[in-house]
Amino acid sequence: MNIEINENNLRINFHDIYFEYNIRQIIIMDTRIIVLLKIPSKTYNPSNIISVDFKANIQWCIQKTEEYYNKSDKLSSEKYVGMHIRENDNMLQVNDYLGRIFIVDPTNGHIIDKCNQGREW
């Protein structure tokens, strides 16, 4: 498989997909590539993790934290700044600008839990 990143362009086996923002990080999995976009400061866009297939088709955007908490008036959504696949269960662990850590199902982008380890919530 041939994967190239050039700012906001991801080329997968000669299939191109262009994002609104530059690419910060990718994770290559068996059936997908998970993309973390680098959102400029003072720009509101909490859906900056996107899954694409190997033909550069978007599969999902990460679930918004307001939907997970169901309390949009009390908890703000923040853009995500880091991600990795956990070795123990192959779940996607992401952290946002506020330092919150969320566990995400990599097959559909749904937040399934928040990780309290090392944080006062």
> What is the CATH topology of the domain spanning 3-114?
Lipocalin (2.40.128)
Residue 64's pLDDT band (boundaries 50, 70, 90)?
confident
Q: pTM of the entire structure?
A: 0.86
CB 21 within 8 A of CB 80: no
What span, in angstroms and rounded, lies between the C-alpha atoms of 103 and 91?
Answer: 7
pLDDT(114) > 70: yes
Contact 63, 48 (CB under 8 A): no
CA dihedral 34, 78, 44, 35 (to 10 degrees): -10
pLDDT tens per residue across span 6-54: 999 999 999 999 999 999 999 999 999 999 999 887 777 668 999 999 9
Q: What is the pLDDT of residue 67?
A: 64
